[in-house]
Amino acid sequence: MKFKQFATILESLEKSSSRNEMTEILAGFLQKLEPDEIKPVMYMLTGRIAPRFIPLEFNFSTKLLLRAIEKASGKGILEIETLMAKKGDIGLVASEIKSQMPQKQEELSIGEVFQLLFELASLEGVGSQTAKIEVFERLFKGADPLSIKYVARMIVGKLRLGLNDKTILDSLSWAGFSDKSYRGQLDYAYGVRADIGDIAELVLQRKFKKLERIMVEPGTPVASKLVEREKSVEAVFERIPESIVQPKYDGLRLQIHYSRAGFDDIHQVHQNQAIGQKPPSLQFDLGKTESRKRDIVRIFSRNMEPLTDMFPDVVAEVEKKEDELPGSFVLDAEAIGTDPETGKYIPFQETIQRKRKYGIKEKSQSVPVKVYVFDILYLGKEDISQKPLLSRLDALKDLIKKNFSSSRILKLSESNELKDLKTLQKYFAKYLEDGLEGLIAKNPQSKYLPGTRNYDWIKLKANIDSKLIDTIDAVVLGYYHGRGARAKHGVGAFLVGVYNEKTEKFETIAKVGSGIKDEDWEGIMERIKGLEIEKIPENAEVKKELMPDVILRPEIVVVVEADEISKSKLHTAGQDKDGVGYSLRFPRLKEWDRADKDPEDVTKVSEVEKLLVN
Ligand code: ATP
């Protein structure tokens, strides 16, 4: 199929503001794809050429793209830059310039565009900028004005179709089964194997049996199992009288995948696929696979993004044992920073500082981590995620004892089988004394159900001066200009929202201005740059009275602490027929930018009510 047909669909999706309509448009298109076009299309829909968990980026700045357009079109850079200043969108610029060129009949196919984009992303190192410009030239020459608009946006990471995983899964259900009834099944399958290309292939090629029996596959992230909350030791005990209790470490969730044989290299995968024949004139050497290091350890975050590069020490620890380890495994764990001098745990924020791209090596020395492994989903050649927790923990104990008993990094999480309330109380008190966040009680018979939040796992935290049992994760929807001390940054307070699963919208719950430290402002202002939008997006609900001075694309997730939940006519969170919604009393910002959470992962309206102690 020609890429132009895909571009027409992208345009319809961009123009549509109704989720149902988007689902319909996409489902109809997906049904028409050839088998070898499925994966390329699925990845390109997300603005990428690989699943989200593979760190393969274009690394192409807008500035470089302007130069590439200059070279490809022969127009003067001044003219192009003026157009950019006028349009403010690189896609529109590329498209307009292309429409001024003589049009060719021969247009690139989906496979060819994908191949060229893949080549572009694969170029790295000395001379790669020139080579990237040359690949773009070929895209520009072979694409029509509409196609180049989307290609250009994709390359600079600004495709932004307003399409989320949910809509994509709905479309797959429609494309494969003519209704939404398979959404539950698809959610599960996507949770077990978070590769949208894989799932789409199974559905669209009608391999339904395989879909039903989908297994964990080392190398591909599994949606993390989530935990419910309870307000007291008694309440936890009532829910799970016989439980396995583990400490609740306040760190960063890590899913550690290992395969002695090595994971399929994405470069090999794509080259082996018949995604259109490699054009004969392809001049750049993609064969870097030989020099590329064999990929045997992969680490993913809670929202299934790659974290491997952030934890070289953990990778090395596993690699060191390569010869003795079983064929493969998948572990669920929490990384927590420790102070090298005192050996004490340090807060989550400092642990996450490692995420900074630079200085990872130095940071891993100044903030050494310990990784507490609390579950195992795959061992040897077997998916054991559906075995009861008790037997998974036996397998885990074995693995760690045999291979990592002397490790200073990889540790087995403590697990205690408890049957009475008193002992549960004792452990809770002890964990708090040890500087931990609280406990997690787990049902010994429970299976690992990816991405689900239910009472199989319950967290209990100490809530010192709040009537709420937990903090709230919220998405930033905009800000107000401030007065007084904060005015120098131009921000007085942020408007934040939670997610309503019924209305499928972000709804406002608080205006939060306190809790921000002076030294954090620079990073905050940097992060919100470029997220400004003109009006409240379709997926958010804000009352006129609370309209922020600057509206932001719902992207940044923050953690908010509050004293209580009250009701307010100003807020839309879970509002009743009289327009009264939930609001937070005395909200303060506890953490800015939880990068390991996606906006849809914020606290749900249905959870808000349950947060009150009484
Ligand atoms: P959630 O993940 O529930 O949306 P959150 O990210 O704000 O919320 P918490 O409220 O801190 O996290 O509680 C759940 C998290 O606790 C898990 O995602 C995991 O990162 C962490 N955790 C720490 N210790 C354990 C443990 N023993 N078992 C499971 N999770 C643990």
DSSP 144-174: -HHHHHHHHHHHTT----S--HHHHHHHHHH
> Are 606 and 594 spatial neighbours (Cβ–Cβ below 8 Å)?
no
d(Cα 579, Cα 243) in Å, to the nearest integer?
Answer: 42
pLDDT of residue 282: 37
DSSP single-letter state for residue 114: H
Confidence at residue 355, expressed as pLDDT on a 0 to 100 scale: 56
Report the distance separating Cα 512 and Cα 521, nearest Å: 14
Query: What is the bridge-based pairing of β-strands 410-412 and 369-379?
Result: parallel
Instruction: Identify the CATH homologous superfamily for domain 3-155.
Output: DNA ligase, ATP-dependent, N-terminal domain (1.10.3260.10)
pLDDT tens-digit readout, 303-317: 999 999 889 999 999
pLDDT in tens, 179-208: 888 899 999 999 999 999 999 999 999 998
Average pLDDT for residues 475-491, to the nearest whole number? 82
Q: Is 348 in the pocket of ligand 1 (CB under 6 A)?
A: no
Domain map (residue ranges) of the chain: 3-155, 226-261+296-461, 472-611
* Residue whose C-alpha is closest to residue 172's, from 52, 40, 50, 31: 31
Which pTM was predicted? 0.89
Ligand 1 pocket residue status of 226, Cβ below 6 Å: yes
From ligand 1's centre to the CA of 235, what distance in Å? 19
User: Could you read off the pLDDT of 409-447 as tens digits, one per residue?
Assistant: 999 999 999 999 999 999 999 999 988 889 999 999 999
Whether 427 contacts 439, CB under 8 Å? yes
Cβ contact 368:317 at 8 Å: no
Cα 57 to averaged position of ligand 1 atoms, centre (Å): 29
Angle at 548 between CA 543 and CA 554, to 5 degrees: 90
- Residue 253 beta carbon below 6 angstroms from any ligand 1 atom: yes
**Percentage of residues of the chain with pLDDT beyond 70:** 91
Of 300, 334, 374, 414, the one to substitute when testing ligand 1's pocket (max ligand atoms within 8 A of C-beta) is: 334
**What's the chain's average pLDDT?**
90
Our answer on whether the CB atom of 166 is closer than 6 Å to any ligand 1 atom is no
- Check pLDDT > 50 for residue 371: yes
CA distances from residue 5 to 11, 355, 525, 571 in whole angstroms, order as listed: 10, 39, 40, 43
Tell me, using a 6 A CB cutoff, whether residue 603 lines ligand 1: no
Which 8-state DSSP code applies to residue 345? Answer: B
SS3 per-residue string spanning 21-59: HHHHHHHHHHCCCCHHHHHHHHHHHCCCCCCCCCCCCCC
* pLDDT band (50, 70, 90) for residue 275: very low
Six-digit token string for 200: 């789409």
Q: Which atom of ligand 1 is nearest to the CA of 302?
A: 18
Segments in 208-330 forming alpha helices (H): 208-212, 233-239, 266-272, 312-320
Indicate the range of 7-11, 194-198, 287-291, 421-425 predicted with least confidence: 287-291
Could you identify the atom of ligand 1 that is nearest to the CA of residue 473?
7
Q: Do domains 226-261+296-461 and 472-611 have the same CATH topology?
A: no
Residue 97, helix vs strand vs coil? helix
Tell me if the domain spanning 226-261+296-461 has CATH number 1.10.150.20: no
The verdict on the CB of residue 499 being under 6 Å from ligand 1 is: no
- The residues assigned a catalytic role are 248
Q: What is the mean pLDDT of residues 321-348?
A: 88
Distance 30 CA to ligand 1 centre (A): 36
pLDDT recorded at residue 268? 57
pLDDT of residue 284: 38
CATH class of the domain defined by 472-611: mainly beta
Q: Is 227 in the pocket of ligand 1 (CB under 6 A)?
A: yes
For residues 107 and 135, give the distance between their C-alpha atoms in angstroms, rounded to a whole number.
Answer: 15
Q: How far is the CA of 512 from the centre of ligand 1 (A)?
A: 24
| CA of residue 522 to ligand 1 center, whole Å | 29
